[in-house]
A and B are shown apart, each in its own frame.
Chain A
């Protein structure tokens, strides 16, 4: 694990595709060791925010300030659908991909890394499945494999996009325990969650996002009925005649 980084600051951050904002003027700070849940309705910009934190999407406006770690030095779990599960590779080799930042594309997978992979498989409860091709795994097993890869990545900051979608209760329990361990080790965990109960159970801090930030703070206070109603009211409608956002200029005039 790299040296402890400072906080990740989101400064007037606007993210989106083709000039359309998916996250609009977000301001805040993710402290080192934070356990942050990102909740909100569909189309609220949750996954977009995670993509930007993983360095896969350049902001339309504002910026993401990191004290030390480069964007590549975070571990990112995308939604399951983005992995080609028909590819002929076994569980062990898939999990060993996590060593990428240490070995690069050409480094040798030495005994130390092999041991790391074996240990990660043990921690997610997949011992004995090492030689199974990934297309024979169930959805829950595949999610465990992806978590094992995150363990091998061994990063200070871990981003999880819908880690519990379509996962049974037993697997969810095991993976939540793993997230608790990560937090105990001082890692920062940011997770997009659909089920508010999971946020209340496992994450002390929550960002409620509905394109605009609705609330950001202690989980129970953030997920109160009033905030949730405001989030639901967000229009997903796509305004074809939307004008340019002048909020930054207006703010400047006010100063």
Chain B
């Protein structure tokens, strides 16, 4: 009896796990589309964050989004537009204040950022705890990819499209600002604004991601695939597309894993990305441990 059941089931095992959930359930399709949109635009931003040595700034900004989302939640309940708008405002305020503080005071950018985001995070936790429950707080922090309605999907797709379009248009500016900011500022009147544009895009992606993955997990989908991609190639254009591809795969396998085991989706996706990162750390062709420890025979000249 058992054997025959196995016999009929076996040919379909792979499709059962990897395809069927997305065919059978609309919420799985929505989760996939929404997080794919975030993966495609967030990961290239992550590559630039790494190149600008701002890996932790993304993390800090993701915390900074919290009080805005909390205020939106307190005003309008679990309403996506209100929480998004609040998060966006809070994130942009912290990003702008950080940029301004590092320019006009003697404090360095990392110190200003730490100060602003810590205050922001404390404010957010206070607001949520005063009015809501800890369950609400968990929801904001870790998100729920299975709760994506039409408006959430439209927003994720819109943010993703806008981000990729702006990255394409301002690609040269962003590269120059990372490589030689002084040269850009000296030769172009737009030079001053490029860092703000970039931080704005990061905040936008974090905010778009918090409904799906939560504020803390969204930054993982931005940073981990980017860090993994950097370990495979020295070419910037290749790293950008590779990061987006890796992020997309992590989203897919994270969702499959979550569906199979019942693990929460946000952490499942980030764990998949973490796995990619650790594999790259060991095997990466451009800076992985094995390549550095056992280099190939040196060239003639």
A residues whose Cβ falls under 8 Å from a Cβ of B: 54-56, 72, 76, 78, 82-84, 87-89, 94, 97, 100-101, 104-106, 133, 153
Contacts and interface: CB of A to CB of B under 8 A. Distances in A.
A88 B237 CA distance: 10
B188 A133 contact: no
Interface centre among A76, A78, A105, A153 (most CB of B within 10 A): A105
A106 B234 contact: no
B170 interface: yes
A136 B91 CA distance: 38
A54 B188 CA distance: 12
B139 interface: no
B4 interface: no
B187 A72 contact: yes
Nearest to B106: A18
Nearest to B230: A88
B186 A88 contact: no
A84 B178 contact: yes
Given A100-B187, A101-B187, A88 B180 contact: no
A83 B236 CA distance: 17
B182 A56 contact: yes
Contact of A106 (B169, B178, B185, B235): B169
A76 B186 contact: yes
A45 B61 CA distance: 38
Looking at chain A's contact residues, the main secondary structure is loop
Interface string B152-191: 0000000000000000011011011011101111111110
Contact of B173 (A55, A101, A105, A153): A105
A98 B179 CA distance: 13
5 contacts: A72-B187, A78-B182, A78-B183, A88-B239, A100-B176
B236 A88 contact: yes
Interface centre among B169, B170, B175, B180 (most CB of A within 10 A): B180
Size range of the interface on B?
20 to 34
Given A84-B178, A105-B172, A89 B186 contact: no
A55 B186 contact: yes
Nearest to B179: A87
Contacts of A153: 187
Interface in B180-222: 180, 182-190
A191 to B, nearest CB: 17
B240 to A, nearest CB: 11
Given A88-B234, A106-B172, A97 B183 contact: yes
A175 to B, nearest CB: 19
Contact of A56 (B172, B179, B186, B236): B186
Given A56-B185, A72-B186, A105-B190, A97 B169 contact: no
Contacts of B235: 88
B29 to A, nearest CB: 37
A84 B180 contact: yes
Interface centre among A72, A88, A97 (most CB of B within 10 A): A88
A55 B187 CA distance: 9
Given A101-B187, A105-B170, A89 B175 contact: yes
Interface of B: 51, 169-170, 172-173, 175-176, 178-180, 182-190, 234-236, 239
Contacts of B186: 54-56, 72, 76
Contact of A97 (B178, B180, B234, B239): B180
Nearest to B174: A105
A82 B180 contact: yes
Contacts of A56: 182, 185-186
A146 to B, nearest CB: 10
Contacts of A97: 176, 180, 183
Nearest to B184: A100
A101 B188 CA distance: 7
A142 to B, nearest CB: 12
A104 B189 CA distance: 10
Nearest to A72: B187
A78 B180 CA distance: 10
A118 B235 CA distance: 21
A89 B236 contact: yes
A71 to B, nearest CB: 8
A133 B182 contact: no
A97 B180 CA distance: 10
A153 B190 CA distance: 18
Contacts of A84: 178-180
A228 B185 CA distance: 35
B198 to A, nearest CB: 14
A88 to B, nearest CB: 5
Given A88-B235, A100-B176, 10 more contacts: A56-B182, A76-B186, A83-B180, A88-B236, A89-B175, A94-B179, A100-B188, A105-B173, A105-B188, A106-B172
A54 to B, nearest CB: 5
Contacts of B172: 105-106
What 5 A-B pairs have minimum CB-CB distances, sorted nearest first? A100-B187, A87-B179, A105-B173, A88-B234, A88-B236
Contacts of A89: 175, 179, 236
